[in-house]
Structure 1
Amino acid sequence: MELRQLKYFIAVAEELHFGRAAERCHIAQPPLSQQIKRLEEELGVTLLERTSRRVSLTPEGREFLRRCKDLEDRLKEAVICVKDMAKGLEGQLSVGFIGPASLSRLPRAIRTFRERNPNIRLDFSAQATKEQLPLLRGDRLDIAFVRLFGHDTSGFNSMLFLREPYALAVPEGHHFADRDDLTLKDLDGEPLVFFQPMNQPALYRSLIGSFHKAGFMPNIVQEANTEQSIVALVATGLGCALVPSSSATACRGGVVFKAISGDLPQWEITALWKKKNETALLKKFLDVIAEYSWVE
């Protein structure tokens, strides 16, 4: 069965006249009649009753016409859909992000994109960088917002979305809370809450190295797997913590965020995607992301 046979059948069934149907389909009448006959033979069903004076639909023909029309409508929708996808007007994107990105400008960027593109579906996945990279390589994510410190990014395109310094989160009432001239050296002997090394081993080593350069070993009393957990532990009075400056936007009670100077790496979030997956839709998404990128 061929799509053109269904097109011919719809024309005959609606016109109930082979001559008019042939004109409508821009085909001679004999080939049109042959195609309808071949269709009936393939189905093993009589769709049209023919006499010298009239053409009419059998009950099977009426049902087949209804389903063919439905198929025709779906095909038209499919054509419109794929054309809109090619223009970036339809479709969906799978977006991965690390937890701290939710405290950055990323939520505002996504909201702007959704407002401008209401027909685009966005699927989100919050995971650590090491978990996102295999998903990105396996085409299970279209774009990922990650920390690239020490990770292999070969084969990816990238855009720096955020670069900012670290801040020091301290419990309310702490002796650092009223100081504005804090340096890394001031943390010598202070109880610290740190992230778990397994999540970002290269970054962990770099930060520990920063303490070594300042002349001391950090007094790490607790480790946690997310920045949100780290800040929550600071609020309990357990200790201080180095966190991205944007963490201050969380407005968690019981915590004060202070600027701190010293030989510390910058805190960055980078957008990663595969070049071959750079569709019109992804490009539109990247254009909005670029509007909200922030590099200090």
Structure 2
Amino acid sequence: MEFRQLAYFIAVAEELHFGRAAEQCHIAQPPLSQQIKRLEEELGVILLKRTSRRVSLTPEGKEFLRRCKDIRDRIDEAVACVQDMALGLEGQLRVGFIGPASLSNLPKAIRTFREDNPQIRLDFSAKSTSEQLPMLRADRLDIAFVRLFGHDTTGLDSMIFLREPYVLAIPEGDDFTHRTRVNIKDLEGKPLIFNQRLAQPALYRSLIGSFHKAGFMPNIVQEVNTEQSTVALVATGLGCALVPASSAEDKRFGVIFRPLDGDLPQWEITALWKQKNHTKLLQKFLDVVARFSNNPDK
């Protein structure tokens, strides 16, 4: 059974006239009659009653017509859907992001994209960098907003979405709150809250190296796994912490932020996607993301 046979049957069943149906299908009447006869033979069912004066549907023909029209409509819908997907007008985009990205311009970029493309479904996954990378390679994410430092990005394209310096988060009431800036050398002996070594080992080593260049080793009193947890612990008075400048957007009670001078790495959020992913939908999303990126070097 071929789809064209169903199309021929629908035409005959709606016109109830082989001549008019043939004209509609741009086919001669004899081949049309043969196709309908072959369809009935394949089904083992009589669909049409034929006399010299009229054509009518059998009960089976009426039911078959209803189902054939449903199939035709579904195929038309499927064709329109994939054509829209090819143009980036419809589809699904799976977006992964690290927690700190929520304090960047990413929410604004996503809101703008959603307003411009309401028919696109966006699915979000808040995951660490180490969790997102395998999801991206396994095609479980289309784009990932991550924090790279020594990670393998073979086969992936990238765009720096955010690049900013570290600042110092200080408990309210600490002596440092009276300063307009703090130098890393002034942190010797100061209780510090650090991100966990396991979460970003290369970055952890780089930060320790920055303290070593300043002439001392940091006094780490607590390690945590997210920037939000870091700021929350600073608010308790446990110690100070190095956090990205955008963390200052988190107006948490009991925490003051000050610029931090010293030989420190930059804090970055990078957008990653597979090099083989050339869909118009992803490109449309990247165009919006680029408009909201905060990368001084772009």
SS at match of 2:175: coil
Matching residue's letter, 2:197: P
> For residues 12-34 of structure 1, what are the alpha-carbon distances to aligned partners after superposition, in whole Å with 9 as ceiling and x for unaligned?
00000111111110111111111
Matching residue's letter, 2:274: K
CA distance in 1, matches of 2:215, 2:23: 91
- Deviation, 1:181, is 2.7
Aligned to 1:169: 169
Aligned to 1:27: 27
Moved more, 39-48 or 234-243: 39-48
Moved more, 38-47 or 259-268: 38-47
Equivalent runs, 1:113-128 vs 2, <5 Å: 113-128=113-128
SS at match of 1:294: coil
Aligned to 1:181: 181
SS at match of 2:194: strand
Aligned to 2:141: 141
Matching residue's letter, 1:45: V
Q: Which aligned segments of 4 or more residues in structure 1 are displaced greater than 4 angstroms? A: none
- Deviation, 1:216, is 0.8
Aligned to 1:112: 112
CA RMSD in angstroms comes to: 0.8
TM-score by length of 1: 0.98
Equivalent runs, 1:190-209 vs 2, <5 Å: 190-209=190-209
CA distance in 2, matches of 1:3, 1:242: 65
Q: Which runs of 5+ in 2 are unaligned?
A: none
Equivalent runs, 1:44-83 vs 2, <5 Å: 44-83=44-83
> For residues 137-183 of structure 1, what are the alpha-carbon distances to aligned partners after superposition, in whole Å with 9 as ceiling and x for unaligned?
11111111111111011111111110000011111111111211310
SS at match of 1:276: coil
Aligned to 1:283: 283
- Deviation, 1:40, is 1.1
Moved more, 283-292 or 64-73: 64-73
Identity of aligned residues (%): 77
Aligned to 1:88: 88
Aligned to 1:228: 228
Aligned to 2:152: 152
SS at match of 2:178: coil
CA distance in 1, matches of 2:48, 2:290: 61
SS at match of 2:62: helix
Aligned to 2:241: 241
CA distance in 1, matches of 2:44, 2:248: 73
> For residues 89-143 of structure 1, what are the alpha-carbon distances to aligned partners after superposition, in whole Å with 9 as ceiling and x for unaligned?
1011111111111111101110011011111111111111111111111111111
Count of matched residue positions in the alignment of Structure 1 and Structure 2? 296
- Deviation, 1:79, is 1.3
- Deviation, 1:68, is 1.0
Matching residue's letter, 2:52: S
- Deviation, 1:82, is 1.1
> For residues 202-233 of structure 1, what are the alpha-carbon distances to aligned partners after superposition, in whole Å with 9 as ceiling and x for unaligned?
00000000011111111111111110111111
CA distance in 2, matches of 1:211, 1:3: 72
SS at match of 1:269: strand
Aligned to 2:262: 262
SS at match of 2:232: helix
- Deviation, 1:278, is 2.0
CA distance in 1, matches of 2:278, 2:256: 41
